Amino acid sequence: MRITVIGAGSWGTAIAGVAAARAEQVTLWSFDAESVEGINARHVNPLYLADYTLPDNVRATGSYEEALEGADGIIVVVPSPFLRATIHQAAPYIKPETPVLTLTKGIEEHTGALMSEVVASEIGNPERVAALSGPNHAEEICRGSLSAAVVAAPVPEVAEFFKNLLISPNFRIYLSDDMVGIETCAAVKNVMAIVCGIAAGVGYGDNTLALIMTRGLAEISRLVSARGGNPLTCMGLAGMGDLVVTCTSPHSRNRSFGVAFAQGESLEDYQARTHMIVEGAAAAKSTAELARTLGVDAPLTFVLERALYHGLGIEEALGILQDRFPTEEFYGLTPTGRD
């Protein structure tokens, strides 16, 4: 079996190593020539996870045609702002029946599309497009640390294909049919992680972080419900699991950016310094736009959007949230989670 991974950042590099245990060959497509050279010459990606040695059956290329030739399955791990353009260029080399799994987390600005919807709109045959999410830091996945994720697809056979490819004693894979729930959780938890980082950066303690995470989860649940997903998904790996790890871990670029932002570093400077895209910053804008379109109250997202893009000061932003009068804990959700 030949597997192609499109995107050779930290997560792409780690998942290539996971897939290599079951696949005969894994080909990593990378935008960066330095990554391609390092992987092919030394089995190391010098730009991401540079202390991780990839298996011998992983190679890299900067050519879409070469990367996708003969692929039996495709895994997409491209930062959300670049996903559509990347898949548009790759699409001519993707066969109509090849299953595709997206690991990218985000909501597309202006369209409100989830990442699987972006991929499907570029390659057609949406029934073969799946999504994976969960509390998975690449730094731990590549070391074989016990982890888990959930895979959702419109067709059970597609989800089973990727489950069988990636599952191992150290990487547990669960199945779902709630694409909307899984992907909405995956995108919006990054927003909450930035807010947690900002709170930590200005000196708030554990009580405050727990408050942000739980109110953030309620906010995510309202969005999932409004989009037609199952709010129960928010209690699982893609929701609560990923929210906790992203809001608390030192590996989280979204949380660490929030800390840096609270201490005066701009988004542009942070991304230039770390060579990483802060997915939650892009998601703050697209999620706020989607929430307004759906008529969903999303106070944490709205405040972060104003702080990142409209000059709202940190103290003023936190003051707005503190001044909100508490109402029912689970407002905006029916007992079943659906209107």
CB under 8 Å to 333, separation ≥6 — which residues?
Answer: 218, 221, 222, 225, 231
Report the 10 Å Cβ neighbour count for 203: 8
Write out the two tokens for 272.
Answer: 């230039």
Q: How far is 18 from 168, CA to CA, in rounded Å? A: 8
Is the CB of residue 63 less than 8 Å from the CB of residue 44?
no
Q: How far is 257 from 278, CA to CA, in rounded Å? A: 7
Report the 10 Å Cβ neighbour count for 41: 10
The amino acid at 145: S
Question: 109: exposed, middle or buried (C-beta count within 10 Å: 0-12, 13-18, 19+)?
Answer: middle
Cite the active site residues: 189
Is the CB of residue 126 less than 8 Å from the CB of residue 154?
yes
Q: Strand 129-133 to strand 171-176: parallel, antiparallel, or no bridges (unpaired)?
A: unpaired
Q: How far is 163 from 334, CA to CA, in rounded Å? A: 33
Please state, in angstroms and as integers, the Cα–Cα distance from residue 221 to each residue in 187, 218, 236, 301, 331, following that order.
12, 5, 12, 13, 10
Write out the two tokens for 21.
Answer: 């245990």
Q: How far is 330 from 318, CA to CA, in rounded Å? A: 22
